Chain A
Amino acid sequence: QKEVEQNSGPLSVPEGAIASLNCTYSDRGSQSFFWYRQYSGKSPELIMFIYSNGDKEDGRFTAQLNKASQYVSLLIRDSQPSDSATYLCAVGRRSNYQLIWGAGTKLIIKP
């Protein structure tokens, strides 16, 4: 089992709809969780981070963390074609500060 798992997609969502991206992790002691967006051939860029159970909202983006079930999700409201990218989930390993990365979910927003 991979430490951080994401559905590779592609996930196709109509423009204006809500895109839902999911990530599960295996280390129950993990404390920091990050969502990054990466356009093809470019560097990952941070969208949101979350440390506590519950929801965290930032503009059109909402991160949700459920430590008991060991999953973290990202919701994108009012999806735009510019949101088409690969979304990477990263989980902070408590023991040595390593970030463990999922393989990413490719999101396609259809106009």
Chain B
Amino acid sequence: EAQVTQNPRYLITVTGKKLTVTCSQNMNHEYMSWYRQDPGLGLRQIYYSMNVEVTDKGDVPEGYKVSRKEKRNFPLILESPSPNQTSLYFCASSSQQGGGNTEAFFGQGTRLTVV
């Protein structure tokens, strides 16, 4: 079954304690990205990766890091989380065909609370 798997689904942490949210896809997609979703603001892209070892900032990258050492995995790292990073996070992957993106497949989401 084609899927994007995020873990954990829910996380409560304290300010400053480093955390990693994992994301893995089994569709051999080149393109992966991380979004955060906040009420009234829609999906905002944090980072994206067009292939292994190729990552770039999205619209709201401050306070986040990513890596893409393997095609299937794209972890999101918060080195020193702050309360303003409390949000619902989604990982997504898609294939690049014909010069454009095809359907984006989303993970189940990670609801992060930083206290």
Asked if B60 is at the interface (CB within 8 A of a chain A CB), the reply is: no
Residue of B42, B43, B96, B109 ringed by the most chain A CB atoms within 10 A: B42
Rounded to whole angstroms, the CA-CA distance of A44 and B35 in the bound complex is 12
- B-side contacts of A97, CB under 8 Å: 31, 50, 94, 96, 100-101
- B-side contacts of A31, CB under 8 Å: 99-100
Asked if A32 is at the interface (CB within 8 A of a chain B CB), the reply is: yes
Asked if B2 is at the interface (CB within 8 A of a chain A CB), the reply is: no
Asked if B67 is at the interface (CB within 8 A of a chain A CB), the reply is: no
Asked if B108 is at the interface (CB within 8 A of a chain A CB), the reply is: yes
Asked if A66 is at the interface (CB within 8 A of a chain B CB), the reply is: no
Contacts of A38-74 to chain B: CB distance below 8 A: 41-46, 49, 51
Contacts of B32-51 to chain A: CB distance below 8 A: 33, 35, 40-45, 48, 50
A3 to chain B, nearest CB (A): 10
Contact A101 B43 (CB under 8 A): yes
Q: Do A43 and B100 form a contact, CB below 8 Å, given A88-B42, A97-B31?
A: no
Contact B50 A42 (CB under 8 A): no
Asked if B104 is at the interface (CB within 8 A of a chain A CB), the reply is: yes
Question: For chain A, which range describes its interface: under 10, 10 to 19, 20 to 34, or 35 or more residues?
Answer: 20 to 34
- B-side contacts of A45, CB under 8 Å: 106
- A-side contacts of B45, CB under 8 Å: 98-99, 101
- B-side contacts of A101, CB under 8 Å: 35, 42-45
Residue A94 contacts which of B43, B50, B99 (CB distance < 8 angstroms)? B99
- A-side contacts of B74, CB under 8 Å: none
Rounded to whole angstroms, the CA-CA distance of A104 and B94 in the bound complex is 21
Asked if A96 is at the interface (CB within 8 A of a chain B CB), the reply is: yes
The interface of chain B, by Cβ under 8 A from chain A, is: 31, 33, 35, 40-45, 48, 50, 56, 58, 88, 90, 94, 96, 99-104, 106-109, 111
Q: List 6 A-B contacts (CB under 8 A).
A: A34-B103, A41-B109, A88-B42, A92-B100, A94-B100, A103-B41
